[in-house]
Chain A
Amino acid sequence: MKILVPVKRVVDGNVKVRVKADGSGVDLANLKMAMNPFDEIAVEEALRLKEAGKAQEIVVVSIGPAQALETLHTALAMGADRAILVRTDEAVEPLGVAKVLRGVALTEQPGLVILGKQAIDDDCNQTGQMLAALLGWAQGTFASELAVEGDKARVTREVDGGLQTVELKLPAIVTTDLRLNEPRYASLPNIMKAKKKPIDEKSPASYGVDLAPRLKILRTEEPHARKPGVKVASVAELIDKLSNEACVL
C-alpha cells in the first residue's frame, strides 16, 4: 500500500504573530516557519505503518510557493520516500487544496491519505473531510490511534465526550490529533540521504483545478485585549474580590 501525506508550511507554533496596522492581514515577514505540527504527526504515523510492514511507499505533497520545498525536505529527512510540490504563489483555500489533492490521489492511487486535522495558521479544520468527500472515501478524523488490517483501517477518534472507534473501508482518509504519536527528529545521515530523494514539481493546472477564491477576507484585526488584572495576596482576598467586585461567586 502507498500512503499519501499532505504537508503545509506554516508559521512556527511558538511564534506569536502580529496583525498589520492597516488591517490587511498578518505580518509574516521574517518569521520562523515550520511544518504544521499535525502534519508532522501524519508523516510519523505513515513512517510507523511502513516500518510495521503495512505500507511500502510514502509520498508527501505540499501545495504552495517554492519555499514549501523546505517542508518537503523535512518530511523526506524524516523518512518519506518521495515528494511532490504543487507550486502556486497564490493563497489557496481548503476547498482548493482538497481539489488539488484529489487530483494527486487519483494519479498516485494511495490506500490511505493521512493529513493533519487542522493547520495552526488558519485553524480551518476542513481539508481532510473535504478530500474524503471529493473522493467518495471514508473519513476517520481527529485520530489518536490507527491500525491497518487487510482492507480496513481502525481509527480511534478524539470526540467531545471521550473516544469513538470507527472502522473504515480502504482507501480512506485519516486526520491526526495530538496524541496519535510523537514525531521523530530527522537524523543527520537521513537529512543527507533526503537530498537525493526525488521531488516532482507540478502546478494546480496539472490537475485541472480552478483555485479562484470563494471567500473574501475583508479585514484582519487584533482580538479584544483584556484589561490588566491584579495580584491578590491570599485566598480570603480572592474570595472577597470574586464575590464583591466580579460578582461571580
Chain B
Amino acid sequence: MAILLIAEHDNATVMELTARALSAALLIGTDIDVLVAGSHARPTAEAVAGLKGVRKVLLAEADELAERLAEPLAALIVSLADGYDTILAPATSSGKNVAPRVAALLDVAQVSEIIEVVAPDTFKRPIYAGNAVQTVQALDSRKIVTVRPASFAPASQGGAAPVLTVPSAGDPGLSSCVGNRLSETVRPELTSARIVISGGRALGSTEKFEEVLLPLADTLGAAVGASRAAVDEGYAPNDWQVGQTGKVVAPDLYIACGISGAIQHLAGMKDSKVIVAVNKDEEAPIFQVADYGLVGDLFEIVPAFEKALRDRA
C-alpha cells in the first residue's frame, strides 16, 4: 500500500502544508514517498527527508517544473504512478490545479479536500460551503486525494529518508509562465499561522485596513486575512481571502473585525479553536460562531486592543 505525496514548496523551503498532508498520508498507510518537483529544489528535498514517516524522497529538477505548471507536473506524476495505490496532494492552489489533471489521465475519480481519514479508501469531506460533511468511499483501485491542510497537525521532524533523483517527464509545450506577482510578507503564512486577524468590508479602504489591522497583527505575530467583500473592494489582496473559495484556516485564535459572517466566509474559518468577533451590528451572523463577541466600533476597539496588549507585554 504505497503512497505518493506531492510536496508543496517554493523551491527554497518546505511549506508546513506538506508536513500536514503527510499526517493525512500516515493515517492511510505506511510506505510514503514524497515527490519534490521544481528547479534547484534539492534543499527542499533534504528538508522533506527529515520529516518522520517518509520512506524516500523523489527529487525531480527541471526548468519546466520550476513554476509548477499543471501540464509538465501532471505528466511527471503519471510517469511515477505505477508504484502507488494512493496519490495525495495538499489542497493548495498548486495541488488543486494538478491533482484532477492526474486523476483524469489515470481515469480515476478524485476525492477533494478531505478533512478526515476514516479508512484507507474512505474519507470525510465538506460540501455546500461546509454546511454538510460527506463520508465518501473511493471505489477505484487507485485513489487520488487532496488534503485540507488546516484539518491535520503537521508531522514531526526526526526522519532520515534517502533522496533519489527522478527524471522529468518533459515539457508538453502547452503553457508557459509569463510572470509571478507574489505578495511579499514578513508575517506568518495564512493557512498555518497560530493567530489570524481578518478584516471585512467595514474597514472601508486599503489605508484603513493597513492602519487598523496591521499593528494588531504585528503585536500578536498574526497572519492577516480578509473576507471576500474586502478583497472584491480591493482593500486586501486576493491571497488573503478566507472562505469557501479562498483559503481555509483553523488557527488557535481567529479575530474577525468588521466581518458580517456570510456562510461562504464561515466555511473558511469555523474550525478555528477560538473565534473572536468585533462588529457594530449585534445581529451579525459572525456572532453565532464566535466564542467571544464584542459589539462596537472596530475603529476604536481594535487600536485599544492593540495598545492593551502592548502595555501588558
Contact = CB atoms under 8 A, between A and B. Distances in A.
Contacts of A165: 177-181
A159 B237 CA distance: 11
A166 B126 contact: no
Q: How large is the interface on A (under 10, 10 to 19, 20 to 34, 35 or more residues)?
A: 35 or more
B291 to A, nearest CB: 4
A29 to B, nearest CB: 15
A160 B93 contact: yes
A26 B181 CA distance: 40
A188 interface: no
Interface string B110-133: 111100000000100011111111
B100 A161 contact: no
B293 A164 contact: no
A248 B253 contact: yes
Interface string A159-202: 11111111111001000011100000000000000000000000
Contact of B92 (A144, A160, A218): A160
Contacts of B301: 235
A229 B112 contact: no
Which of A137, A139, A168, A234 has the most C-beta atoms of chain B within 10 angstroms of its own C-beta?
A139
Contacts of A65: none
Interface in A203-249: 213-223, 226, 229-232, 234-236, 238-239, 241-242, 246, 248-249
Nearest to B131: A17
Interface string B10-25: 1000000000000000
Contact of B136 (A133, A138, A178, A216): A216
B40 interface: no
B94 A160 contact: yes
B294 A129 contact: no
Contact of B237 (A137, A157, A162, A222): A162
Which of A26, A133, A178 has the most C-beta atoms of chain B within 10 angstroms of its own C-beta?
A133
A11 B274 CA distance: 30
A242 B276 CA distance: 9
Contacts of A213: 139
Contacts of A217: 134-136
Which of A134, A164, A177, A222 has the most C-beta atoms of chain B within 10 angstroms of its own C-beta?
A164
A220 B130 CA distance: 11
Interface stretch (B30-38, B168-176, B203-211): B168-176
Q: How large is the interface on B (under 10, 10 to 19, 20 to 34, 35 or more residues)?
A: 35 or more
B101 A179 contact: no
A169 B294 contact: no
B232 interface: yes
Contact of A223 (B74, B131, B179, B309): B131
B182 interface: yes
A161 B289 CA distance: 28
Nearest to A168: B175
A139 B172 CA distance: 12
Contacts of A177: 238, 245
Interface stretch (A46-54, A56-64, A73-81, A115-123): A115-123
Contacts of B282: 231
Contacts of B67: 164, 166
B1 interface: no
B113 to A, nearest CB: 7
A127 B101 CA distance: 9
B108 A214 contact: yes
B231 interface: yes
A220 B136 CA distance: 9
Given A166-B69, A248-B253, A123 B112 contact: yes
A220 B132 contact: yes
A146 interface: no
Which of B245, B287, B289 has the most C-beta atoms of chain A within 10 angstroms of its own C-beta?
B245
Given A223-B131, A232-B292, A218 B139 contact: no
Contacts of A125: 96, 100, 112-113
B298 to A, nearest CB: 11
Contacts of B292: 229-232, 238, 241-242, 246
Contact of A229 (B138, B290, B312): B290
B27 interface: no
B103 interface: yes
Nearest to B272: A226
19 contacts: A17-B131, A19-B132, A26-B127, A123-B112, A123-B127, A133-B103, A139-B70, A157-B93, A159-B94, A162-B183, A163-B180, A164-B67, A165-B181, A177-B238, A215-B111, A223-B130, A231-B294, A239-B312, A246-B274
The 4 A-B residue pairs whose C-beta atoms are closest, nearest first, are A214-B109, A129-B100, A138-B174, A130-B104
Given A95-B110, A122-B127, 12 more contacts: A95-B107, A123-B129, A124-B112, A130-B101, A133-B74, A158-B93, A162-B183, A164-B181, A214-B139, A220-B133, A222-B132, A229-B293
